Amino acid sequence: MTRPTAPGVHLVVGGFPPGSTAGHDMHYARMEILRFLDEVDHVQPTISSDFADLETWLPTSQLLITYTSGPFPSNAELAHLNSWLEGGGRWLALHGTSGGKAEPIDGDRRRRRMVKMPHHEALGAFFLNHPPIRKFEVNVHGDHPIVSDMPHSFETTDELYFIEVLDPDAQILLSTELPVDPDPAFGFEVDSDTSLLEGGRKRALGLVCERGRGAVAYIALGHTHSPATNGQPYVDSSVASDQTTPLTFRGSWETKGFRSLLRNGIKWGVSTQA
């Protein structure tokens, strides 16, 4: 599978079950990504709500962008994705793409843990959990095109994802240090916190992994919800003193730092350079 010379882009935005928002404002995220794609000449994006029919869309695409909460590629779809990456395709994966499937603990559906699956190996990252939405500092590393012309750090308000880095050769682009211990009663249960990097406080929030002649970049930031899609029971006191969840939340989408990451990521994805 060869890399097309035209800047084809396939966009996957959606929740699970099919048609569900899964606690995110999927329409807002989809429209914002399309606005950034509109800045690139001659792009005619194709759009799906899950990973079905990748064998149809990837051969004409240089870049795959995913913003999902639940959907993940089947074994057959993953085979097409891996082949496309090996041949030179680039995948810009956002936020909940590092999740996928949760299982009940001891048969209790009120207690769940995330399941590591084959698509996480392709992505190079696996979502464990996150504390309530909070303010935190994002540190920017290296000179990769995705972080080009960015400051050394920026502040945001978002879901602070705990991400296990699976690829030992991953280049870390973004990280943070959680200033306080997470709320143990919030979200998914974790057997051990494998998201901590060397030193015991730093966590990766963005990375790039080489895949043959292609590559995958993952950025954990990007939660957004509307009054109709909000599923946050409460937020950290750094966001609201009474911990009441804002009915409409845009978080990182309204920061210059995240918008620069998206713009740079798209330019990297459609670049004809190796």
pLDDT at 154 over 70: yes
Q: How confident is the model at residue 1 (pLDDT cuts 50, 70, 90)?
A: low
Q: In angstroms, rounded to a whole number, what is the distance separating the alpha carbons of residues 22 and 81?
A: 24
Closest CA to 163 of 125, 201, 208: 125
What average pLDDT does this structure show over 106-117? 87
Beta strands in the chain (DSSP E): 9-15, 46-48, 63-69, 90-94, 102-105, 108-114, 125-129, 134-140, 153-158, 162-165, 171-177, 202-211, 214-219
Percent of the residues in the chain that have a pLDDT greater than 90, as a whole number: 81
Amino acid 125 reads: A
- All structural domains of the chain, each given as residue ranges with its CATH number in brackets, are 9-270 (3.40.50.880)
The model's confidence at residue 2, banded by pLDDT at 50, 70 and 90, is low
179-203 pLDDT tens trace: 667 777 798 999 888 998 877 789 9
> Would you say residue 136 has pLDDT above 90?
yes
Q: pTM, whole model, 2 decimals?
A: 0.95
Q: Is the pLDDT at 89 greater than 60, yes or no?
A: yes
pLDDT attached to residue 274: 44
Strand pairing category for 108-114 and 102-105: antiparallel
Tokens 């879901």 map to which residue?
A: 159
Helices (H), 137-203: none
